[in-house]
Amino acid sequence: MTVETTAVIALRGWHPAIARAEAEAMFPQSDIVRTDARRLIKAEGRSDWSRASLMSGCECVLVGGGMTEWTNIEDFLALVDYEMKEDMAVECWRHEGKLPVSASDIERQVGSHFHEKGSTFNLESPKNRFGIVLDASAGLVAWGWMVGQGPGKHGWATMRANKRPFFRPVSLEPRLARAAVNIAAGTKEGYIVDPMCGTGGILIEAALTNRLTLGIDFDPIMVEGTIENLKWAGVSAEVRRDDATRFELPENLTAIVVDPPYGRNSKGDSKLLEDTLENISSQHDDCNLVVIMPCEAGIENLEEKIDYEISLPGFDIKAMYGIPVHKSLGRIMVIASMSSSK
């Protein structure tokens, strides 16, 4: 049975659970509904779908189409609403294995139907792209006009921390930093602040999404390195040397996104984070927070939220996600908002 919906969101496969959280934050006017496919979600109610291009976990949004169980190509062709479009292309790709059909055959036959309606085609740089996703995890096919980049890596490798002029091995992966920024800020305006900015990875991703961005670090070497990395990325942000536990926050604060410097002195590191959160809650009554923290390996889950024993003074934890790093280390993304009872 075909699912009628406002839009279908096609997710990237690196962490579908975090991608769903990112979609909920970036499309707040829509009701985000899971499907049987791990990388296809429904969006009921219209949002600004152009935000898909800012997201690390979203391939694209498919609008004006639908989603249904895959049976055969003839049944599928009968469901598509063909219309005349100038400067278009048809793109079909797979999620999670293979359904028994050729993607190129789908592209050819769908394109033929659009051609019969008078459509013109541009396979190099089309203005309009009609996307078809074959998802073998649930035997579903989704289709519609694409908003966003579409499948592929789209330059994430070139933005990795080890490509920057100032690098430390503990630097956050760019796509995780981008997801953290989007989940924390959503569609709200105001400053994204990283009070322990390190090499500036979170600042780069916040600035690339055209958000007001402020970074703080106590180490002058980190401040200088962050400024160098921001220039390399071609973006601007305010960076200053200051104490995370004492610095003055901007009035138009939207969210705090931080990857604290955890090392051998775990007790001291925890105290630093607690004092930083106390400084934030003493200055603001409404603030979202995303913290990336290290943890033991083995608790990661790419599909669902996790439970983990942790508290953030002054903040209510909304969700946690486990992220694999390597055999002996994992990370947790903790999403929180300022406590109403603080």
Q: Give the number of residues written for the chain.
A: 342
Among residues of the chain, what percentage have pLDDT more than 90? 84
Residue 169 — very low, low, confident or very high, per pLDDT cuts 50/70/90? confident
Residue 109 has pLDDT above 80, yes or no: yes
Q: What is the mean pLDDT of residues 209-237?
A: 97
How far apart are the two ends of the chain, measured CA to CA in Å? 49
Query: Cα–Cα distance between 170 and 249 in angstroms, integer?
Result: 26
CA distance 11 to 34: 11
Specify whether the CB–CB gap between 254 and 192 falls below 8 A. Answer: yes
Show the domains of the chain with their CATH numbers: 7-147 (3.30.2130.30), 157-338 (3.40.50.150)
Mean pLDDT of the residues in the chain: 93
DSSP state of 302: S
**What pLDDT is recorded for position 266?**
47
pLDDT tens-digit readout, 8-63? 999 999 999 999 999 999 999 999 999 999 999 999 999 999 999 999 999 999 99
pLDDT in tens, 65-104: 999 999 999 999 999 999 999 999 999 999 999 999 999 9
138-155 per-position pLDDT tens digit: 999 999 999 999 998 778
Distance from the Cα of residue 81 to its chain's centroid: 30
The model's pTM: 0.94
Residue 169 or 215, more confident: 215
